[in-house]
Amino acid sequence: MKKKKNWSVYIVRCRDGSLYTGISNDVKRRMEIHNTGKGAKYITPARRPVKLLYVEAGFCVGAALKRENAIKRSGKAAKETLVKTKKKRKKP
């Protein structure tokens, strides 16, 4: 059985300047959820609205989780560089 590669890894900037990394199979819908305050535990009402900065698409769910974890471990400076150099792209 072929795995569906419809998952994306995304980075948003919160109102307080912090960055949040997540995965979704519908990034647009996920942004709507984040901005209602019902997204991740990290996205609190004090951090809304969030702005989508970066998307990598074309992952199966397992690969998306691995990529998300790698980005989360990379530190803020590396995330800022990633956001500046690769706004929105598909996985090679």
Kindly report, residue by residue over 52-86, the tens digit of the pLDDT.
999 999 999 999 999 999 999 999 999 999 999 87
Confidence (pLDDT) at 41: 74
* C-alpha to C-alpha distance for 79 and 76, rounded to whole angstroms: 5
For 7-90, give the CATH class.
alpha beta
- Asked if residues 62 and 15 have their Cβ atoms less than 8 Å apart, the reply is no
Q: Would the pLDDT of 92 be above 50?
A: no
- Mode of pairing for the β-strands spanning 7-13 and 51-59: antiparallel
- Residue 59 is predicted with a pLDDT of 96
- Residue 6 burial by CB count (10 A; 0-12/13-18/19+): exposed, middle or buried? middle
Mean pLDDT of the chain: 88
Please tell me which residue, 53 or 46, carries the higher pLDDT value: 53
Given a cut of 70, whether residue 90 has pLDDT beyond it is no
- State how far the Cα of 61 lies from the Cα of 6, in Å rounded to an integer: 8
The pTM assigned to this predicted structure is 0.86
